[in-house]
Amino acid sequence: MNPPDISLIPLLFASIFTSNILLANFLGMCSFFSISKDMTSSNGLGMAVTFVLFITSGMNWVVYHMVLVPLGLEYLRYIIFIIVIASIVQITEMVIDRVSPKLYITLGIFLPLITVNCAILGVSLFLEIREYTFTQSMVYGLGSGLGWWLAIMLLSAIRKKVEKGPVPAPLKGPGITAITIGFMAMAFIGFGGMLPVQ
Amino acid sequence: MDLATVLVAPAALSAISAALAILISLTDKVVNNYGEVAIDINGGSRSFKVNGGANMLVTLAESGIFIPSACGGRGSCGECKVKVNSDVGPHLPTEIPYLTNEQLEENVRLSCQVKLKGDVEIEIPEYLFKIEQYEGVVERIRDLTHDIKEVYFRLTDGALDFKAGQYGQIEVPPYGKVKEPTQRAYSMSSVPSDTNHVEFLVRLVPGGIVTTYVHEHLQEGKKMKVIAPFGDFYVRDTEAQMICVAGGSGMAPFKSIFYDFVEHGTMDKRDIWYFFGARTKKDLFYLDELNELQEKYERFHFIPALSEPEESDNWEGATGLITEVLDEYLRNTISTETEKEGYLCGSPGMLDACMAVMRERDMAEEKIYFDKFA
C-alpha cells in the first residue's frame, strides 16, 4: 500500500473546502436539493450525514483492509460497503428517534435515504481508490461530512433569501436552486488550486 | 476459480452481515428500551402499565383492548383512531390522509402509527371494552354459491354479545407463503341470541389471504380466532321504512338483522324493503329462506335483481343493475309518505352508486347507514 503524501490538517481542510463532496464532486445531491428548503432540518440532516460518513469511512476501511483484501474479495466492496452503510444508518435512525423525536419526524423519509446518499458510498470508494491510511480515512470522512453539512447550511441560507426575491416564475423552486448551486460550486472551485487532494 | 473462492465470498458476506445484524439488535435493545409506560384510558376509567417501544394498537391488543383495525396495523384502513391527550409528537405523514381537520386538531391518532415512548392518556369509546378475542372451532362449512362459503363457528371460550349487523375480525394462522397471522373483517350472519356460535359469509377474493384460506384450507374441526364485536352498522329503533341494499356476501348482516327481528317478533313493526343484487342466478343464495319470510310477513319485501341473467336462468324477477331497480322502486312502489332509513352493505362501488340514488330520491344523508367492504 502506498498512502498519498498528505498530512491530516490539509486533508481535513481540502475535504471540507477545495474538494467539497457536494460542490466539487456533486455527490449527494438529492437530499441537498429537497431538504435545504428548511434550515433546521438541513442542520439535522447535515449532522446525521457527518456522523454516518465519519463512522462508515472508518468501518469500511477496516472491513476492506482487514477482511476483503486478505481474502482476495475486493470485488465485493460495493455490496459490503452498502451493507455497512445501511446498518449504520439504521442505528443512527434509532438513536435520533430516541434522542430527538422532533428531528426524526422532520427528517422523515430522508433519514433512511441516507443509505443511498451517493456522498457516503462515494467517500468509501474514494478512500479505497486513493489508498488512504486508517487515520487519513477517518479525517477524510469527517471532513467530507463537515463539507456536506457546510454546503447544505449555506444553500438553505441562500434559499431563504432567494425565496423573498423576484424569481421569474419558471425558475421558482428547483430551477433557481440549481443555478444557486452552480454559483456556489464556482466559488468553491476557486479554492481548488490551493490544496489539491487527489 | 477454485472451490475455496466460491465458498469464501458468501461466507465473508454472511459473516459481515451477521456481525452488523448483531450490532443493530444490540442497539435496538439499548436504545429502544422505553421501560414500563402507563396507559390511562378515558380519564382513569382504566389504567395499567405495559412495556413501551411497540405501537399503540399492538400494545393495547396485548392488554385485551381491541381497537378496530381492518388492515391489521399497516396504516392502510384508517380505522384504528384513538384520541390522545398527551404529547406523542406531531402527526405522521402516514396518518394525515385518514384524519379530518377536526380530528387533527383534537389530536386523534392512528394507533398503529403511534409508538409508545412514555406515559399516555387516551380516549376510546366505551364499547371497545366489550370487544374480546374468542377461540372458534368450525362446526359447519358449506358452499352457498360457487364463490361464497358459509362458515359456522362454535365459540369454545365464552359467549359473544353483539348487535345484529355488527362485524368481527377473523384471524387466520400463517399458511403457505403467508408468514404472519392475518386478520380481516366480516359481518356476523348469525343471530345474537345464538351466543355460543358465530357465522360468517366469506366470498372468495382472488389473491385474498383470508378468503383463500377459508375457501381452500379451512375444514370442519379447525380452530380460528375471532375478535368481536365491532362497528355501528345496526338497526336504529325507529318506525321508519327500512331500505336495505346488499350484494354478494353483503347478505351477512341482513340475515342476522332479519332473523333477530323474527325472534323478537318485530318483523311486522315497520316496512322492510330488501334489495339484493347479483349477476346471474348462480350468484343468488338463501332464496328459499327469504321468500319464506316474505310470505309469512306482510311488511317484508324481498327483491332480488339480476344484472346479467342467462337464458337458462328462466329469470322472472327484477332485471338490471341494483341501482336501477332501487331507483324504480323508490319512485313508483315504495311509499313516499313515511320516513325512510337506508341500510347498505357491499362493495364500495355499489354503495356509492346506491347512496347517490337514495340522495336523489330525497332520503336524508344522515339516515343512510352503511358497511363498506374495505
DSSP secondary structure string for all residues of chain A:
----S--HHHHHHIIIIIT-TTTTT--SHHHHHHHTTSHHHHHHHHHHHHHHHHHHHHHHHHIIIIIIHHHT-GGGHHHHHHHHHHHHHHHHHHHHHHH-HHHHHHHGGGTGGGGG-HHHHHHHHHHHHTT--HHHHHHHHHHHHHHHHHHHHHHHHHHHHHHHS---GGGTTHHHHHHHHHHHHHHHHTTTTTS---
Closest CB from A67, A68, A91 relative to B24: A91
Pairwise CB contact (< 8 Å): A87 & B12 = no
Task: Give, to the nearest 10 degrees, the angle between helix A77-99 and helix B3-31.
Answer: 0
Give the pLDDT band (50/70/90) at residue B235.
very high
The answer, yes or no, to whether residue B271 has pLDDT greater than 70, is yes
- The answer to the question of residue B7 being in a domain is no
Judged by a CB distance cut-off of 8 A, whether residue A62 touches chain B is no
Note which residues in 108-147 of chain A have CB less than 8 A from chain B.
108
- The answer to the question of residue B59 being in a domain is yes
- Same domain for B347 and B286, yes or no, is yes
- The answer to the question of residue B20 being in a domain is no
The answer, yes or no, to whether residue B374 has pLDDT greater than 80, is no
B-chain residues within 8 Å CB-CB of A55?
none
CATH number at residue B187: 2.40.30.10
- The answer to the question of residue B269 being in a domain is yes
Contact B135, B76 (CB under 8 A): no
- Same domain for B92 and B174, yes or no, is no
Pairwise CB contact (< 8 Å): A95 & B31 = yes
- The answer to the question of residue B48 being in a domain is yes
Pairwise CB contact (< 8 Å): B12 & A105 = no
A-chain residues within 8 Å CB-CB of B21?
87
Q: Which of A97, A99, A109, A124 to mutate to test the interface with B (most CBs of B within 10 A)?
A: A97
In tens, the pLDDT along A59-104 reads 999 999 998 899 888 888 899 999 999 999 988 888 888 888 777 8
- Distance, CA of B343 to CA of B254 (rounded, Å): 9
- Same domain for B271 and B352, yes or no, is yes
A-chain residues within 8 Å CB-CB of B25?
none
- Same domain for B251 and B338, yes or no, is yes
Judged by a CB distance cut-off of 8 A, whether residue A198 touches chain B is no
Q: Which of B2, B14, B20 to mutate to test the interface with A (most CBs of A within 10 A)?
A: B20
Judged by a CB distance cut-off of 8 A, whether residue A171 touches chain B is no
- The answer to the question of residue B319 being in a domain is yes
- Same domain for B137 and B119, yes or no, is no
Q: Which of A41, A94, A95, A102 to mutate to test the interface with B (most CBs of B within 10 A)?
A: A94
Pairwise CB contact (< 8 Å): B17 & A83 = yes
Contacts of B137 (CB under 8 A, 6+ apart): B153, B154, B156, B221, B222, B223, B224
ipTM over 0.95: no
User: What number is the average pLDDT over the span B103-129?
Assistant: 88
In tens, the pLDDT along B126-170 reads 878 888 889 999 999 999 999 999 999 999 988 888 999 999 989
- Same domain for B121 and B136, yes or no, is no
Residue A3's pLDDT is what? 66
Mean pLDDT rounded to a whole number for chain B:
89
- Same domain for B296 and B345, yes or no, is yes
- Distance, CA of B20 to CA of A86 (rounded, Å): 10
**How many CB pairs below 8 Å do chains A and B form together?**
48
Residue range(s) defining the domain that contains residue B257: 241-372
- Distance, CA of A17 to CA of B44 (rounded, Å): 59
- Same domain for B42 and B163, yes or no, is no
- The answer to the question of residue B310 being in a domain is yes
A-chain residues within 8 Å CB-CB of B20?
83-84, 87
In tens, the pLDDT along B33-76 reads 788 889 999 888 888 888 888 889 988 888 888 888 877 777 88
In tens, the pLDDT along B286-335 reads 999 999 999 999 999 999 999 999 888 888 888 999 999 999 999 988 88
Residue environment code for A16-45, b if the CB has 16+ CB neighbours within 10 A, otherwise e: bbbbbbbbbbebbeebbbbbbeebebbbbb
- Same domain for B45 and B120, yes or no, is yes
Closest CB from B12, B13, B32 relative to A94: B32
CATH number at residue B109: 3.10.20.30
In tens, the pLDDT along A8-48 reads 888 888 888 888 888 888 888 888 888 888 888 888 888 88
- Same domain for B340 and B355, yes or no, is yes
- The answer to the question of residue B349 being in a domain is yes
- Same domain for B367 and B263, yes or no, is yes
Residue A7 region, left (φ>0) first, then alpha (ψ -120 to 50), else beta? beta
Closest CB from B8, B28, B93 relative to A94: B28
* Last residue of one domain, picked from the residues B128, B143, B172: B128
Total of domains in chain B: 3
- Same domain for B144 and B82, yes or no, is no
Distance from the A90 Cα atom to the nearest Cα atom in chain B, whole angstroms: 7
Pairwise CB contact (< 8 Å): A68 & B17 = no
